[in-house]
């Protein structure tokens, strides 16, 4: 029995900021595009972005894309590809103004220009300071405004949405070209083959590999699992960003915009400890730096509360008016999840898993690249990726706040344009291989026929604990080795999961089991890559190799599912037009 087939020019998996921005390019170019999403588009995680989108508009002081580029390279701890970073920082102002013209309700200055707030790691004068006001925002609901704007624009251009459809596996023909996906309609449980000429992944992050995360429950790294099962490597998966300010106990995010507006962190002695760790940038140092400072304060017994397990974020001095106008969502979150009103009391916060710097390897045009013979970056025909699931790589070893939304706009558009170009050259559908859909059928049958298996919830919890314990803010050699062994055991358990309910209609148990198949690839890639990288760089901080080692490790990791093997490729040190920003010691 073969699955029913639906034909489109292109399939986009994911309807967050990146997927919607890419879809717009395709729809407006007259391509027949299907956009698949596990949730209604405006419920994608982009909706939760609070702080803003980075672009050197210079509305509130001097700024330039070149300074933005410098900060991003430095923020990445020199692991970011400088061609992609230049491209993003140069395009950012245009992308934001374009979004403004789409109707995005940005906050305004008195003269009508877009309001911009300072954010961690964004400075004037090539890092010398003072902080630059670069984050364009709509109060503390920037992602919400952006996602709705992009969705409406897609409705206007008749993009075809498949809502509550989950993509399961990639289909490639004999030459390796991506020619479709299998996907399940959640409402009916039916599987369909989407047969296309090109496939674009925009499936977002995978923060749900950690027990404590700011990410939505749907952020399970599906795009990464899917491509790794199809033989494509995952890049730089050891680099996970811990956001300094997740609400203690709950994990819900308190935007860095709070510190941008003048809030700061305190330890149990009431000390503004960031002054010791980053004398210049203080609370606005890069995220990895602030998260490590907080973890160190807690580890050294200067944490707050009965368990000494968090620090405090103070913002009452900003006054109720500013909090209500610029940070209303934060006040709501603090009341609901921390039981404090930040107008009066500080918010208890801890570093929480927030963002995946690694992902599906692409170039700055959004084309997926993978090793082929001597070529470490051969283009995989018909396959594109953008947004958090992709690794262009602009964030390198550590992302600066506001640069993800910029990434979505710039690379959503460039990957959409590349897909349009590809479709012009490839006008007919390639034949489906005879075994199209076979992998999906095997996975579903295994799940339906499993007896004496394990519960998905329990195996999922084991996976998250393994990552949390062994691959956190600080990394220790014994824990990394243990972590690799433990995750291999978890992998065996994932292959034996069983669902009690075998019904078809809206069976969320089956969906969660299928998501676990993707989480395990992400976790395995992360632990194996982290154990192998013998240096400290950006978010990867090893106790046994405390320094960055450019001699041996200024290179990107590539993890292959097959044989659980690693390869490496050089970092692009040459920008497109600017001069190389040479590596130096990173201080704030």
Ligand X SMILES: Cc1cc2nc3c(=O)[nH]c(=O)nc-3n(C[C@H](O)[C@H](O)[C@H](O)COP(=O)(O)OP(=O)(O)OC[C@H]3O[C@@H](n4cnc5c(N)ncnc54)[C@H](O)[C@@H]3O)c2cc1C
Of 143-162, which residues contact ligand X (CB under 6 A)? 143
Contact between 286 and ligand X (CB under 6 A)?
Answer: no
Tell me the CB-side half-sphere exposure of residue 268, using CA atoms within 13 A. Answer: 15
Identified binder of ligand X from the candidate list 142, 228, 415, 557, rule CB under 6 A: 142
Contact between 49 and ligand X (CB under 6 A)?
Answer: yes
Residue bearing tokens 């220790």: 476
Q: Is 533 in the active site?
A: no
Distance, CA of 99 to CA of 66 (rounded, Å): 22
User: Which two tokens mark 468?
Assistant: 């949390």
**DSSP for 295-337?**
HHHHHTT--BTTTT-BEEEE-GGG-HHHHHHH-HHHHHHIIII
| Residues 10 and 22: beta-carbon distance below 8 Å | no
Of 14-43, which residues contact ligand X (CB under 6 A)? 14-19, 36-39, 41
The stretch among 76-84, 197-205, 338-346, 491-499 that binds ligand X (CB under 6 A) is: 197-205
| Residues 3 and 182: beta-carbon distance below 8 Å | yes
Number of C-beta neighbours around residue 384 at 10 A: 30
DSSP letter at 184 equals E
Q: Measured from the CB of residue 571, what is the shortest distance to ligand X in angstroms?
A: 22
Q: Measured from the CB of residue 21, what is the shortest distance to ligand X in angstroms?
A: 8
Residue 395-434 contact track with ligand X, rule CB under 6 A, x = bound? ------xxxxx--x--------------------------
Identified binder of ligand X from the candidate list 77, 86, 222, 535, rule CB under 6 A: 222
Q: Is the CA virtual torsion 546, 552, 555, 561 positive or negative?
A: negative
The stretch among 58-66, 202-210, 278-286, 473-481 that binds ligand X (CB under 6 A) is: 202-210
Identified binder of ligand X from the candidate list 12, 23, 34, 48, rule CB under 6 A: 48
Contact between 233 and ligand X (CB under 6 A)?
Answer: no
CB nearer to ligand X: give 353 or 487. 353
Contact between 366 and ligand X (CB under 6 A)?
Answer: no
| Residues 54 and 402: beta-carbon distance below 8 Å | yes
Residue tagged active-site, from 153, 287, 533, 586: 287
Name, in order, each residue with C-beta under 8 angstroms of 581's C-beta and a sequence gap of 6 or more.
69, 70, 73, 74, 78, 82, 575
Q: Radius of gyration (Cα) for the chain, nearest Å?
A: 23
Contact between 350 and ligand X (CB under 6 A)?
Answer: no
User: Which two tokens mark 277?
Assistant: 């760790």
Contact between 10 and ligand X (CB under 6 A)?
Answer: no
CB nearer to ligand X: give 223 or 381. 223
CB nearer to ligand X: give 219 or 557. 219
CB nearer to ligand X: give 13 or 312. 13
| Residues 136 and 93: beta-carbon distance below 8 Å | no
Residues acting as catalytic residues: 287
Site for ligand X, rule CB under 6 A = 13-19, 36-39, 41, 44-46, 48-53, 142-143, 165-167, 202-205, 214-215, 218-219, 222, 253, 255, 355, 387-389, 401-405, 408
């Amino acid at each position: 029995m073969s699955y029913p087939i639906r034909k489109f020019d292109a399939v986009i998996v994911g309807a967050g900021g990146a997927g919607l921005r890419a879809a717009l390019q395709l729809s407006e170019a007259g391509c027949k595009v299907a956009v698949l999403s596990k949730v209604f588009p405006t419920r994608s995680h982009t909706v939760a972005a609070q702080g803003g989108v980075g672009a050197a508009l210079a509305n509130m002081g001097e700024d330039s894309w070149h300074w933005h580029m410098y900060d991003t390279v430095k923020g990445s701890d020199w692991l970011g590809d400088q061609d992609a970073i230049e491209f993003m920082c140069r395009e950012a102002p245009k992308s934001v103004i374009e979004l403004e013209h789409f109707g995005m309700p940005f906050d305004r200055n008195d003269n009508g220009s877009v309001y911009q707030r300072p954010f961690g790691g964004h400075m004037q004068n090539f890092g010398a300071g003072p902080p630059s006001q670069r984050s364009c925002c709509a109060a503390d609901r920037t992602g919400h405004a952006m996602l709705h704007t992009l969705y409406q624009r897609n409705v206007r251009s008749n993009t075809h949405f498949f809502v509550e459809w989950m993509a399961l596996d990639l289909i490639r023909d004999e030459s390796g070209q991506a020619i479709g996906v299998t996907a399940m309609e959640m409402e009916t449980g039916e599987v369909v083959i989407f047969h296309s000429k090109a496939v674009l992944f925009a499936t977002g992050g995978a923060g749900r590999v950690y027990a404590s995360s700011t990410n939505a429950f749907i952020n399970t790294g599906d795009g990464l699992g899917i491509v790794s099962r199809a033989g494509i490597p995952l890049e730089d998966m050891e680099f996970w960003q811990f956001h300094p300010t997740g609400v203690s106990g709950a994990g819900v995010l308190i935007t860095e915009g709070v510190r941008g507006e003048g809030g700061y962190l305190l330890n149990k002695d009431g000390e503004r400890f960031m002054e010791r760790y980053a004398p210049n940038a203080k609370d606005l140092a890069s995220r990895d730096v602030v998260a490590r400072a907080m973890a160190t304060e807690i580890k050294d017994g200067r944490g707050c509360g009965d368990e000494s397990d968090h620090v405090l974020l103070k913002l009452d001095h900003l006054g109720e008016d500013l909090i209500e106008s610029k940070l209303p969502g934060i006040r709501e979150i603090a009341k609901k999840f921390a039981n404090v009103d930040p107008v009066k009391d500080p918010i208890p916060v801890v570093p929480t898993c927030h963002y995946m710097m690694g992902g599906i390897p692409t170039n700055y045009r959004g084309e997926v690249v993978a090793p082929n013979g001597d070529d470490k970056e051969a283009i995989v025909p018909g396959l594109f990726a953008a947004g958090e699931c992709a690794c262009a790589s602009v964030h390198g070893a550590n992302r600066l706040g506001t640069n993800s939304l910029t990434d979505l706009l710039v690379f959503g558009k460039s990957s959409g344009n590349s897909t349009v170009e590809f479709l012009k050259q490839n006008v007919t559908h390639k034949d489906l291989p005879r075994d199209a859909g076979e992998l999906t059928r095997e996975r579903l049958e295994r799940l339906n026929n499993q007896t004496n298996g394990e519960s998905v919830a329990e195996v999922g919890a084991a996976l998250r604990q393994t990552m949390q314990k062994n691959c956190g803010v600080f990394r220790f050699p014994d824990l990394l080795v243990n972590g690799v062994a433990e995750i291999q055991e978890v992998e065996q358990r994932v292959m034996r999961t069983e669902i009690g309910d075998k019904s078809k209609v809206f069976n969320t148990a089956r969906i969660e089991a299928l998501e676990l198949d993707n989480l395990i690839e992400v976790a395995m890639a992360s632990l194996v890559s982290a154990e192998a990288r013998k240096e400290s760089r950006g978010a990867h901080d090893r106790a046994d190799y405390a320094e960055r080692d450019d001699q041996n490790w200024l290179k990107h990791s590539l993890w292959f599912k097959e044989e659980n093997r690693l390869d490496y490729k050089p970092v692009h040190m040459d920008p497109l037009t600017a001069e190389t920003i040479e590596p130096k010691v990173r201080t704030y």
